[in-house]
Amino acid sequence: MAAGLAVIFPGSLRAQDLTWPLQNFDTGICGWTGYDAATLSWDGNQNNGTNSGGSCLFRVDYSHDGSWLAGVDNVDCCACALGALLQSSNFVSIDFDVKWNNASGLSPAAFNANMPGEPGFQIGTGNARGLGFVANLCYGNVPIPDEATNGWTHVSQPIDPTAGAFASLVWEKQFVAKGPGALAMFWVDNVKLKGRIIHPMIGATPKAGGSFTLRWNSVAKATYTIQKSSDMTHWKVVGTGFPNGGASGGALDYTDTAAGDGASFYRICSP
């Protein structure tokens, strides 16, 4: 029977709310690109936060019919340092701060209502490196709040957990002409992905034959990585993408059938 086994979570035994920063625009907009009617630039005079950085200024030309596209390649983004494909089921929302430039020829309300049936802009994902291919505009319409005309406003857009893995994040909007000189201008800062809460362990049971079962509270659609160590310094992955297809929610069990008789430590991570 497995003996002397302990179970831990990274950080603490409390639930944790994790975020994954995409860009704070501290020194530039590296990794972010504007296409078609959208021009993106760094503005060091506008910043929301305690750092001494800046923000990204969006300038969208609404003088003619068209569309605009902006986004970040989260694999190669040099300022983001993500370096990996991301799994949508491991995040709950895309969060950012926005401030409307009142020198715009449009108000937020006019911007949001410009395209019938599409209030605001759309956020989606690309499954190829680079922004040349948009796989899925899957996260719905994101209106810019009216209060953004008074200063920085926080926006949190839920993520579709079934959208799968993605390599790039795109912001897109089709529009109809608003006349000569019609510009929509706004600043964006502190763009991040909000991770799912890691729930505390609720049980661990040694079993005959050298196996060991872990039990924790799961989140629907989330997948987990199980790691094991004998010294809490060197960790080995013993399970990944568990369970297949994502959790259904509630208690989730994972059994290490090769636990052995020595002392081992386990941790559960998502993603």
CA distance linking residue 8 with residue 102, whole number of Å: 51
Q: Does domain 19-195 have CATH number 2.60.120.10?
A: no
What residues does 261 pair with on adjacent strands?
none
Q: What stretch(es) of the chain map to CATH 2.60.120.260?
A: 19-195
Strand, helix or coil for residue 110: helix
The tokens for 175 are 């529009």
- Whether pLDDT at 74 is above 70: no
CATH T-level topology, domain 6-16+197-269: Immunoglobulin-like (2.60.40)
pTM of the model: 0.67
Alpha-carbon distances of 185 from 41, 49, 179, 203, rounded to whole Å = 11, 20, 15, 52
β-pair partners for 201 = 216
Dump pLDDT digits (tens) for 124-175. 877 655 555 455 656 778 899 999 999 999 999 888 877 777 777 888 887 7
Omega cis (within 30) before 143 = no
Greatest CA separation for the chain: 78
Mean pLDDT (the chain, rounded)? 76
Domain(s) of CATH 2.60.40: residues in the chain: 6-16+197-269
pLDDT band at 76 (very low <50, low <70, confident <90, very high): low
Contact 225, 242 (CB under 8 A): yes
Residue 125: Cβ within 10 Å count: 24
